[in-house]
Amino acid sequence: MLVVVLEAPWMVRRELLVKAEEGTNPAYGCEPESRPIETYIEFGVAAIDKPPGPTSHEVTAWVKRILGVRRAGHGGTLGTP
Amino acid sequence: MTALLTAGKEYVAVMRLHEPVDEERVREVMAEFVGTIYQRPPLRSSVKRRVRKRRIYYLDVLEVDGQDVLFRVGCEAGVYVRKICFDVGEVLGCGAHMRELRRTRAGPFVEDECATMHDLVEAVMAWREDGDERLIRNVVKPMEKALDHLPKIYIRDSAVDAVCHGAHLAAPGVLSVETGITPGGLVAVMTQKGEAVALAKALMTSEQIVEAQHGLVAKTERVLMPRGVYPRMWRTRG
């Protein structure tokens, strides 16, 4: 039995209200999915199923090294038991 | 990113009751924890231990096996599932504790979309050794994915570089707005191509942003796009 009282943020359906229409110049910027691989990774995010044992800092360092990126942060784990 | 730390979470947990309890009673009590609850963080926690109001979006008791209760819970950031188990035990009178916990969602990231370290290594090997980008583009997602849970404001090309320099977002720069924006709420400022420009705090509702003809609609908090990607089409004030 599922009891749902409040709508979770990821359940919220949003609509787009259009104020004005205008094209975008293909000479600037790039659709995220089409970024060349180095840029794609540099401005990318990876959700890793962390194995128990190593700390999230260690795992982040490994991911950085494996991907060859200079900067990487992590967005949180389960924390203290 | 802090936008992720404050995003809602989902967990699957096992609670161990300290005495046998009728299943119907367990479900009845757990249902009471849905909605707004009050929690003081446990002793072993990294935050200040004051009572906080938190929202439990949903709670699904999956299985009751003797004194073990398997359940799924969706909640606001900063909820201690461990404390929920303890408090359920208090209400039932027999006491209870959390045996096992697994986070199945953090904001827009769900468990089944996660990659293991092995997946990552395989993907990088296929890329570096065979030139195959398919796997790596599956493991790594564009950073915009981390903003899926935030309402978006799409802006003109001409407004992008100013925001990249920290300028707040003004009404004329706005092309479209997603519904559900409230004053003070976090929004993602995006280009027409779907690129993230910045995170901003909205100054008015979605409808008001659409209606506004001048003035600021959102305060830029964290710039995400490097300067110069879009051309400079602004001047300093004065």
Query: Cα(B109)–Cα(A76) distance, rounded to whole angstroms?
Result: 12
pLDDT tens series, chain B, 238 aa: 667 777 899 999 999 999 999 999 999 999 999 999 999 888 888 888 899 999 999 999 999 999 999 999 999 999 999 999 999 999 999 999 999 999 999 999 999 999 999 999 999 999 999 999 999 999 999 999 999 999 999 999 999 999 999 999 999 999 999 999 999 999 999 999 999 999 999 999 999 999 999 999 999 999 999 999 999 887 665 4
| Contact state of B157 with A28 under an 8 Å Cβ cutoff | yes
| Nearest residue of chain B to residue A2 (CA atoms) | B60
- Which residues on adjacent β-strands are paired with residue B153? B177, B189
Distances (CA, A) of A69 to A45, B152, B188: 12, 28, 25
A window 5-64, beta carbon within 8 A of B: 5-12, 14-25, 28-33, 35, 37, 40-41, 43-49, 51, 59, 62-63
Q: What does each C-alpha distance from A52 to A80, B61, B139, B141 come to in angstroms?
A: 12, 25, 20, 23
**CATH 2.30.130.10 boundaries in chain B:** 150-223
Q: What is the pLDDT of residues B61-87, one digit of tens each?
A: 999 999 999 999 999 999 999 999 999
For chain B, where do the domains classified as CATH 3.30.70.3190 start and end? Answer: 2-110
DSSP structure string for A6-47: S--GGG----EEES------TTS---GGGS-HHHHHHTEEE-
- The answer to whether residue A4 neighbours chain B at the CB level (below 8 Å) is yes
Burial B7-17 (b: 16+ CB within 10 A, else e): bbbbbbbbbbb
* The pLDDT of residue B175: 97
Sequence-distant (≥ 6) Cβ neighbours of residue B104 within 8 angstroms: B10, B11, B12, B72, B110, B111
pLDDT at A78: 45
Residue B52 burial by Cβ neighbours in a 10 Å radius (0-12, 13-18, 19+): middle
User: In chain B, which residues have their Cβ closer than 8 Å to the Cβ of A62?
Assistant: 117
Class of domain B150-223: mainly beta
Q: What was the ipTM of the complex prediction?
A: 0.84
B118: left (phi over 0), alpha (psi -120 to 50) or beta: alpha
The whole-angstrom separation of Cα B57 and Cα B167 is 36
Among partner residues B4, B117, B206, which is closest to A48 by beta-carbon distance? B117
- pTM recorded for the entire structure: 0.86
Are B206 and A17 an interchain contact pair (Cβ–Cβ within 8 Å)? yes
Q: Is the pLDDT of residue A74 over 80?
A: no
Reported as type and span, the H/E element at residue B160 is helix B157-164
Instruction: Kindly state the helix (H) or strand (E) to which residue B27 belongs, with its residue range.
Output: helix B23-31
Amino acid at site B203: L
Fold of domain B2-110: Alpha-Beta Plaits (3.30.70)
Q: Where are the alpha helices (DSSP H) in B55-132?
A: 81-92, 117-130
Q: Which two tokens stand for residue A46?
A: 């990876």
Q: Which of A10, A25, A30 is nearest to B105 (CA)?
A: A10
